[in-house]
Amino acid sequence: MSTIATIPTLRLDDVTKDFATGTRALSGVSLSVSRGEFVSVVGPSGCGKSTLLRLASGLDTVSGGTLEVDAAVTSFVFQDPTLLEWRSAQKNVELVGELAGVPAAERGRRAREALSLVGLDGFEKQHPRQLSGGMRMRVSIARALVAEPQLALFDEPFGALDEITRLKMQTELQRIFQLKSFAAMFITHSISEAVYLSSRVLVMSGRPGRIVDDIELPWSYPRPPELRYEPEFGRIAGRISKALEDHS
């Protein structure tokens, strides 16, 4: 345990979010995510998970409480890869640099490096329609990571993938997280995905979303896929499942 106090990358203190429609989406949410931490949020549909990420990304503002971000770059990965169909994988990833005015040679190099990081060497010239669902998501992740974010936000990125691809993507994301060590906030419906990937899992209640459980995972990285069959893994998944049932 270090005695040097570190500033969290993302910190929410007693955050409430009300929409103009009168809907209260979040109530009294306090949490923090620091560099090297992978925090998952699980909760029932409509409980305010996407709202939470939108607040963290600065796309929307809190109604009450405080939210602080200590990151020069924040990235966002959505469930839909949202790639531009008329641009190659390489050009989709380069878009970020283009918008930021990075010179062509440099942004080309960075995009190739990001595509390599997600295992897409040799697929640079392919267009989205020529890629599988898993590969499109890899491009989306490369595009998010090319700007070297300190805070990476993921909104159910693997929700639309088949089970086998999903497990592969979990292994990949874990490897990338270890390598880059950003602060990660990850929304998922899958309890086992949350337990496998996270250093901490937050469980949210039904709307208005509150945090009803906060579970520190006991394993270091990298984690073998077989961890999913360990009794401790099942015990923690059961605790999350119970918390979801009790607070839906």
Ligand X SMILES: Nc1ncnc2c1ncn2[C@@H]1O[C@H](COP(=O)(O)OP(=O)(O)O)[C@@H](O)[C@H]1O
Chain contacts with ligand X (rule: CB under 6 A) = 19, 21, 23, 25, 43, 45-51, 207
Is the Cβ of residue 45 or residue 220 nearer to ligand X in the bound state?
45
- In the complex, what is the shortest distance from the CB of residue 175 to ligand X, in angstroms, rounded to a whole number? 27
25's contact among Mg ion, ligand X, none, with CB below 5 to 8 A by partner kind, is ligand X
3's contact among ligand X, Mg ion, none, with CB below 5 to 8 A by partner kind, is none
The answer to whether the beta carbons of residues 142 and 117 sit under 8 Å apart is yes
* Residue 180 backbone class (left: φ over 0; alpha: ψ -120 to 50; beta: rest): alpha
- In the complex, what is the shortest distance from the CB of residue 213 to ligand X, in angstroms, rounded to a whole number? 16
Is the Cβ of residue 50 or residue 192 nearer to Mg ion in the bound state?
50
- In the complex, what is the shortest distance from the CB of residue 21 to ligand X, in angstroms, rounded to a whole number? 4
Dist. CA 148–CA 225, nearest whole Å: 27
207's contact among Mg ion, ligand X, none, with CB below 5 to 8 A by partner kind, is ligand X
* Residue 122 backbone class (left: φ over 0; alpha: ψ -120 to 50; beta: rest): left
How many other CB atoms are there within 10 angstroms of residue 50's CB atom?
17
Distance spanning both ends of the chain, measured CA to CA: 36
- In the complex, what is the shortest distance from the CB of residue 194 to Mg ion, in angstroms, rounded to a whole number? 15
